[in-house]
């Protein structure tokens, strides 16, 4: 699965991942390979990305959107803080 994490200022990360956990407006959810297509608004909270090499990326967001289609994830976020790779 591939991901692109974008803020209004820059691209935070782009690459291959195994999973992502995000704070949806109705609660936290996880996306794995072959997930059904989805577009969802995101609330304030923590994001955890498990890269293909097994390492984790974590950060918090104020709000955003996630789109998943054909094993491609677009994460558009505002207020990303405490980015750790």
Q: Of 76, 50, 51, which Cα lies nearest the Cα of 63? A: 76
CATH of the domain at 58: 2.60.15.10
Closest to 72 (Cα-Cα) out of 28, 35, 29: 35
HSE (CB half, 13 Å, CA atoms) of 60? Answer: 5
Parent domain of 60: 2-84
Using one digit for the tens of pLDDT, what is the confidence trace for 26-64?
Answer: 999 999 999 999 999 999 999 999 999 999 999 999 999
pLDDT grade for 85, boundaries at 50, 70 and 90: confident
Give the rounded percent of residues in the chain with a pLDDT score beyond 90: 95
Q: For strands 72-78 and 2-6, give the pairing.
A: parallel
Q: What is the DSSP letter of 37?
A: P
What is this structure's pTM? 0.94
Q: Length of the chain in residues, anyone?
A: 85
What pLDDT does 83 receive? 83
CA distance 60 to 84: 10
Number of domains making up the chain: 1
């Amino acid at each position: 699965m591939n991901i692109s994490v974008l803020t209004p200022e820059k691209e935070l990360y782009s690459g291959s991942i195994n999973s992502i956990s995000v704070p949806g407006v109705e609660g936290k959810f996880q996306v794995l390979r072959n997930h059904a297509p989805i577009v969802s608004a995101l609330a304030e909270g923590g994001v955890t990305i498990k890269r293909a090499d097994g390492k984790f990326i974590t950060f918090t967001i104020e709000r955003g959107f996630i789109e998943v289609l054909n094993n491609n994830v677009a994460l558009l976020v505002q207020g990303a803080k405490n980015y750790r790779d």
